[in-house]
């Protein structure tokens, strides 16, 4: 098992990252960043864009083990609706 990872995509995307794109979701590799985009998605339709490093791996071959620390810098391209408690 690997004990550390620092991946900021400044040198490209490592071979261990795989993209998953469902419905109108798509992953854009843009220089030193990754854009996870869900375009034109209606309320009744599931859409997903993600990257991961565990697709197709048995649990014993996963690359990372606890404890893990994840830092994400994110921004949004449009205003978000207000959050509502209790769904």
Share of the chain above pLDDT 90, in %: 13
Domain parsing of the chain, residue ranges = 18-54
Residue 53: both structure tokens together: 């490093």
Global confidence as pTM: 0.65
Report whether 27 contacts 17 (CB < 8 A): no
Q: Which long-range contacts (CB under 8 A, 24 or more apart) does 29-33 make?
A: 32/8, 33/9
Report whether 17 contacts 51 (CB < 8 A): yes
The rounded distance, in Å, linking the Cα atoms of 63 and 53 is 7
Give pLDDT tens digits for 56-85.
889 888 888 777 777 877 777 777 777 676
The predicted pLDDT at position 66 comes to: 79
Comparing CA positions, the residue from 62, 74, 86, 69 lying closest to residue 34 is: 74
């Amino acid at each position: 098992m690997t004990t550390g990872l620092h991946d900021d995509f400044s040198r490209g995307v490592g071979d261990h990252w795989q993209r998953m794109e469902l419905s109108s979701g798509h992953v854009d590799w843009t220089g030193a960043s990754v854009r996870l985009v869900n375009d034109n998605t209606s309320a009744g339709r599931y859409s997903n864009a993600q990257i991961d490093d565990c697709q197709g791996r048995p649990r014993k071959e996963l690359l990372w083990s606890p404890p893990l620390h994840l830092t994400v810098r994110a921004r949004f391209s449009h205003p978000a609706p207000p959050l509502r408690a209790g769904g």
